[in-house]
């Protein structure tokens, strides 16, 4: 178990990193980012970035009706994204479904909107895009221009019949943010979960945007709802990371449940945030470093306020 003073020092470093995030974000280098196309099933693909800041995974459905994509990464990558899509089909992007409003998933909206795509999102995601938002990691996301705003929104569910598939856009609850959408291709049995379910390469814990309606309780509930929606043959396109399965999602949910239990125990014991972090509630799931300490401290607020 880490000494309290070490935890304090790591937490101070974490807060300093958060304060630097807005300025760092403006100098991201996209020069070496490459877009890789990964076949998923039938006419569905995943576009994944590698090398530097690459953003979230993009889902792509191609067919006679046109091209339907899920998320569009960063604006500087749009040309590379469009080139990757052009290798699959000569049909333009008709619809862009935003899994949520965060910049690494939706900053390409303005470019695709100018190109004539209709942008679809949860109504809360559109509301977030209408004005400046400060994310829980300190990043300041500015409002989008009208051309990049979702023109079609919904609250609970929406259904498309497109490219021979029944495509359900589902809000399983506020978890990552208060405007998350998961997109389920029923006939192909493929689902894009956005950042409600991720697997980061560095093994870090999932980002929960507490500033914008996200919560640990909500994420756990949404993951349970997702598990009930799909089956063992479903291929999952996560918001970040490789293609996954329902068993991976269940393991992820169970991890979150265990961490929540440790946080609730710390609350019952009346521990301060620093003392809580020192008990290492995420032991076995995430490194005992400044990033984990910050994540746990933000999540702990949920329970100390109750």
pLDDT at residue 17 greater than cutoff 90: no
Counting residues of the chain whose pLDDT is more than 90, the rounded percentage is 84
pLDDT at residue 23 greater than cutoff 80: no
Do the beta carbons of residue 129 and residue 150 sit within 8 Å? yes
Euclidean distance between CA atoms 216 and 300, whole angstroms:
9
Which DSSP string corresponds to 163-183? TTEEEEEE---SSSSSS--EE
pLDDT at residue 126 greater than cutoff 60: yes
Output the CA torsion sign for 152, 110, 98, 25: negative
Check residue 25 and give its pLDDT.
43
Euclidean distance between CA atoms 54 and 37, whole angstroms:
14
Residue showing tokens 């068993």: 247
From start to end of 136-234, where are the E strands?
140-141, 152-154, 157-162, 165-170, 182-185, 190-194
Confidence of residue 16 (pLDDT cuts 50, 70, 90): very low
Check residue 294 and give its pLDDT.
94
Confidence of residue 12 (pLDDT cuts 50, 70, 90): very low
pLDDT at residue 124 greater than cutoff 80: yes
Q: What is the mean pLDDT of residues 5-19?
A: 40
Check residue 32 and give its pLDDT.
87
Confidence of residue 306 (pLDDT cuts 50, 70, 90): low
Q: Is the pLDDT higher at 26 or at 291?
A: 291
Check residue 1 and give its pLDDT.
41
- The residues, any chain, with a CB within 8 Å of residue 55's CB and separated by 6 or more, are 49, 71, 73, 74, 77, 104, 105, 107
Do the beta carbons of residue 103 and residue 74 sit within 8 Å? yes
pLDDT at residue 121 greater than cutoff 50: yes
Structural domains in the chain plus CATH codes: 21-246 (3.60.15.10)
Cross-strand pairs, 162? 165
Mean pLDDT of the chain: 91
Neighbours of 81 (CB within 10 A): 24
Q: Is the pLDDT higher at 304 or at 10?
A: 304
Q: Which of 2-16, 38-52, 65-79 has the highest mean pLDDT?
A: 65-79
Euclidean distance between CA atoms 136 and 265, whole angstroms:
24
Do the beta carbons of residue 142 and residue 131 sit within 8 Å? no
Do the beta carbons of residue 179 and residue 127 sit within 8 Å? yes
Per-residue pLDDT tens over the stretch 250-295: 999 999 999 999 999 999 999 999 999 999 999 999 999 999 999 9
Do the beta carbons of residue 301 and residue 210 sit within 8 Å? yes
Check residue 304 and give its pLDDT.
77
CA distance to 39, 87, 156, 253, per residue, from 225 (Å): 26, 35, 13, 11
Check residue 51 and give its pLDDT.
62
Residue showing tokens 């997702």: 226
Per-residue pLDDT tens over the stretch 138-149: 999 999 999 999
Closest by alpha carbon to 235, among 183, 271, 196, 270?
183
Q: What is the mean pLDDT of residues 93-103?
A: 98
Euclidean distance between CA atoms 216 and 155, whole angstroms:
21
């Amino acid at each position: 178990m880490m000494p309290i003073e070490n935890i304090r020092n790591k937490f101070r470093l974490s807060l300093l990193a958060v304060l630097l995030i807005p300025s760092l974000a403006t100098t991201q280098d996209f020069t070496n980012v490459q877009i890789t196309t990964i076949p998923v099933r039938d006419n569905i693909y995943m576009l994944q970035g590698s090398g530097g800041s690459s953003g979230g995974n993009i889902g792509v459905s191609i067919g006679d009706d046109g091209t339907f994509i899920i998320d569009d990464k960063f604006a500087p990558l749009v040309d590379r994204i469009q080139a990757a899509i052009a290798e699959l089909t000569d049909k333009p992007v008709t619809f862009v479904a935003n899994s949520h409003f965060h910049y690494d998933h939706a900053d390409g909206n303005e470019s695709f909107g100018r190109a004539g795509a209709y942008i679809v999102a949860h109504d809360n995601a559109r509301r977030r895009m209408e004005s400046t938002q400060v994310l829980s990691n300190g990043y300041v996301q500015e409002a989008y221009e009208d051309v990049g705003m979702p023109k079609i929104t919904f609250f609970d569910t929406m259904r498309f019949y497109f490219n021979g598939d029944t495509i359900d856009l589902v809000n399983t609850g506020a978890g990552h943010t208060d405007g998350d959408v998961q997109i389920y291709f029923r006939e192909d049995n493929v689902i894009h979960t956005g950042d409600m379910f991720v697997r980061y390469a560095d093994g870090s814990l999932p980002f929960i945007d507490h500033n914008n309606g996200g919560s640990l309780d909500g994420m756990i509930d949404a993951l349970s709802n997702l598990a009930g929606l799909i089956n063992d043959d479903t291929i999952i396109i996560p918001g970040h990371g490789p293609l996954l399965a329902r068993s991976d999602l269940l393991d992820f949910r169970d991890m979150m449940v265990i961490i929540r239990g440790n946080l609730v125990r710390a609350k019952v014991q009346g521990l301060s945030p620093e003392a809580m972090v020192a008990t290492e509630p995420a032991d076995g799931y995430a490194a005992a470093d400044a990033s984990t300490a910050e994540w746990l401290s933000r999540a702990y607020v949920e329970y100390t306020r109750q």
